[in-house]
């Protein structure tokens, strides 16, 4: 399967509310373990804020979903990817308020970091850009918060 077919499949599967997301650490060096723990903590805080104290027992479809891949891990570590903003939250708060809330949560987790969420105007173009160093289909470098159990979800590995 060609890379563009894989990218399109992920975009189509995510459905409405799909946006581009970039997590930046603004650190020259951060270990894979520490970086993935920061992403995990962000995910935990967003879900807890949205779904309450027992967020982890909610169905996967209710939880925040994103699929991100690392880039420039040795020099300017960051993640690019796709995020499916919860439709109910979009209707209640609106896009701008959600972005501001998620940015504030990321700054709590990674004070020197930045988070950028933007609507997809060219979904395939973004997927291609986001996965230029690592494939969205890679099982070794991708962090996918939807398809895995909580234990699997937060056991990212690097080759």
Q: Is residue 36 part of a domain?
A: yes
Is pLDDT at 30 greater than 90 in this prediction? Answer: no
Q: In this structure, what DSSP letter does residue 1 have?
A: -
Q: Is residue 140 part of a domain?
A: yes
Q: What is the mean pLDDT of residues 111-127?
A: 85
Q: Is residue 145 part of a domain?
A: yes
Q: Is residue 158 part of a domain?
A: no
CATH of residue 95? 3.30.70
Q: Is residue 22 part of a domain?
A: yes
Highest mean pLDDT among 31-45, 54-68, 93-107: 93-107
- Structurally, the chain folds into a number of domains equal to 1
What SS3 string covers 3-16? HHHHHHHHHHHHCC
The rounded mean pLDDT for the chain is: 76
83 pLDDT tier (thresholds 50, 70, 90): confident
To 5 degrees, how large is the angle CA 152–CA 156–CA 159?
135
User: What was the pLDDT predicted at 36?
Assistant: 84
Structure tokens at 93: 């708060």
Is pLDDT at 100 greater than 60 in this prediction? Answer: yes
Which residues form the domain of 79? 3-153
138 pLDDT tier (thresholds 50, 70, 90): low
Q: Is residue 134 part of a domain?
A: yes
Q: How far is CA 130 from CA 61, 100, 136, in A?
A: 24, 22, 8
User: What was the pLDDT predicted at 19?
Assistant: 87
User: What was the pLDDT predicted at 159?
Assistant: 33
Which range is least confidently modeled, 35-44, 49-58, 108-117? Answer: 49-58
Q: What is the mean pLDDT of residues 142-153?
A: 46
What is the pTM (predicted TM-score) of this model? Answer: 0.77
Q: Is residue 15 part of a domain?
A: yes
Is pLDDT at 146 greater than 60 in this prediction? Answer: no
Residue of higher predicted confidence among 2 and 80: 80
């Amino acid at each position: 399967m060609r890379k563009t077919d894989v990218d399109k499949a992920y975009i189509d599967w995510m459905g409405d509310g799909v946006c581009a997301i970039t997590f930046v650490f603004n650190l020259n060096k951060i270990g894979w373990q520490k970086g993935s723990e920061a992403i995990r903590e962000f995910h935990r805080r967003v879900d807890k804020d949205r779904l309450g104290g027992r967020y982890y027992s909610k169905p996967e479809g209710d939880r925040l979903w994103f699929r991100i891949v690392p880039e420039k891990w040795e020099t300017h570590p960051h993640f690019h990817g796709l995020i499916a903003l919860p439709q109910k939250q979009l209707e209640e708060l609106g896009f701008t308020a959600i972005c501001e809330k998620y940015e504030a949560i990321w700054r709590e987790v990674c004070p020197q970091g930045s988070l950028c969420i933007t609507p997809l105007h060219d979904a395939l173009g973004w997927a291609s850009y986001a996965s230029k160093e690592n494939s969205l289909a890679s099982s070794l470098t991708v962090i996918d918060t939807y398809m895995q159990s909580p234990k699997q979800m937060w056991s990212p590995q690097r080759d």
